[in-house]
Amino acid sequence: MAPDAVDLRSDTVTKPTAAMYARMATAPLGDDGLDGDPTVVELEAFAAEVLGKEAGLFVASCTMANLLATLTQAARGEQILLEAESHMYMAERGAATFTGVFHAPVQGTLGAMDLDLLRSALPGGSSKLRTAMIALETSHNNASGAVLPLEHMAAVRQLADEWGVTIHLDGARLFNAAEHLHVAPGAIAAYADTVSLCLSKGLSAPVGAILAGGRPIIDEARRFRRMIGGQQRQAGIVAAAGIEAISVMGHRLGEDHARAQKLSFLLNTLSPHLSATIPQTNIVQVDVSTTGHEPKVWAAELAKEGVYVRPWAKERLRCVTHRHISDDDIQHTYDAFRLVAMRLPPRAMAKL
Ligand SMILES: *Cc1c(COP(=O)(O)O)cnc(C)c1O
């Protein structure tokens, strides 16, 4: 990929900022598995405070944070309920092969589970699986970065309380949701017992994620983290970047959202051949099915113009804005789409 390529594949491609490198170079370090790494300890306390929880745990990835949330809140032979297109269902349900916890999908709209379907799934039905936890996701990756309305989260909280089950919030992009709703991240996490946060997406840290929740759950998660090989040593070197990510990087996400909106607007002027979702946050999905060319063909042609996107399902491309995407890059992306649209003559769509 050329250095001036426009990389819209994901916000995970973001590199650390200069301020992160500076913090990393001077962070006090220790053995986090022995008597604690002071920088990790600081990050965990700071993240917990920002997320409005008692305690935090620094982990290698958001996938690991979600796995620990499941291990601490559901037992073998129980089920967790989650939206059918959620990341925890689509991309992480292989965890069941270790946890023995069944992932039961509930259909939803724009990432929000249908509340009637959720209510009827809670008792476990003829499966006789006891429901231990409900998992929510905001912003919702597959729903093109849609943000759960707080009213929806409150309604799910009420159902969870009625049934005595916990709620885990997959908040990989929680700061994007907070930016969209103009509330603090903690105001969203307040509806959940545990919350995960990815530090290495739009927040630009090189690696890492946080799981936050009540102290007993986080103590237990720390125990499980050790069992799955997630305990690290001088992890402060990366936790230092995480502190920078949480303290300053959330403030600029509005720029990414504005550029995603601009991109969506421009691409929709190319219709009827393309149809872009209107984003609430930083993810735009572009339906190319009416062009009669597959997403992977579009992605390959766009790459020739220096624009990298990801084929998403059978009909879509996914474009994610982030810190390395400028206004000029949005214009360049639009130009590339226009060129490729001219190069790929419209075809009748093959029946899928
Ligand atoms: C990216 C993502 C994850 C996984 O994060 P990793 O840090 O890559 O493991 C989990 N949930 C959602 C919603 C995500 O977008």
Q: Whose CA is nearest to atom 2 of ligand 1?
A: 172
Mean pLDDT on 179-198: 98
Q: How far is the CA of 114 from the centre of ligand 1 (A)?
A: 23
Centre of ligand 1 to C-alpha 244, Å, is 20
pLDDT at 58 over 80: yes
Distance from the alpha carbon of residue 135 to the mean position of ligand 1, in angstroms = 14
What per-residue confidence (pLDDT) applies to 350? 55
* Distances 346 to 271, 334, 343 between C-alpha atoms, Å: 12, 18, 9
d(CA 346, CA 351): 15
**Residue 347's pLDDT is what?**
76
Q: Distances in Å between the alpha carbon of 146 and those of 56, 115, 137, 277?
A: 26, 17, 9, 10
Whether 242 contacts 43, CB under 8 Å: yes
**Whether 101 contacts 76, CB under 8 Å:** yes
Question: How many DSSP H helices and E strands does the chain contain?
Answer: 14, 15
Contact (CB, 8 A) for 259 and 327: yes
Given the CA of residue 198, which atom of ligand 1 is nearest to it?
Answer: 7
Residue 65 Cα to ligand 1 midpoint, Å, equals 9
Q: Which of 289, 269, 268 is nearest to 347 (CA)?
A: 289
Mean pLDDT within 50-56: 98
Q: Please give the average per-residue pLDDT across 93-117, as a whole number.
A: 97
Q: Is 351's pLDDT higher than 90?
A: no
Give φ, ψ of 250 to 5 degrees.
-65, -30
Tokens of 226: 């050790």
In whole angstroms, give the CA distance from residue 146 to residue 176: 10
pLDDT at position 349, please?
Answer: 60
Whether residue 87 has its Cβ less than 6 Å from ligand 1: yes
**Cβ pair 158, 128 in contact under 8 A:** no
Total-model pTM: 0.97
∠ Cα 81 82 88 (to 5°): 120
Instruction: Tell me which of 57, 66, 198 to substitute to probe ligand 1's pocket, judged by most ligand atoms within 8 Å of the beta carbon.
Output: 198
> 261-302 pLDDT, tens per residue?
999 999 999 867 789 999 999 999 999 998 999 999 999 999
3-state secondary structure of 137: strand
From the CA of 64, give the closest atom in ligand 1.
Answer: 9
CA 316 to centroid of ligand 1, rounded, Å: 20
Nearest by Cα to 43 from 250, 242, 249:
242
**How would residue 3 be classed by pLDDT, with cut points 50, 70 and 90?**
confident
Closest Cα to residue 10, out of 178, 290, 273, 260?
260
- Across all residues in the chain, what is the average pLDDT? 96
**Alpha-helical runs (H) found in 228-293:** 236-248, 253-268
Q: C-alpha 145: how far from its chain's center?
A: 8
Q: Is the dihedral of CA 212, 94, 150, 203 positive or negative?
A: positive
Q: Which residues lie below 8 Å from residue 76, measured CB to CB, with a gap of 6+? A: 99, 100, 101
**CA-based Rg of the chain, rounded to a whole angstrom?**
21
Confirm or reject: Cβ of 141 under 6 Å from ligand 1.
yes
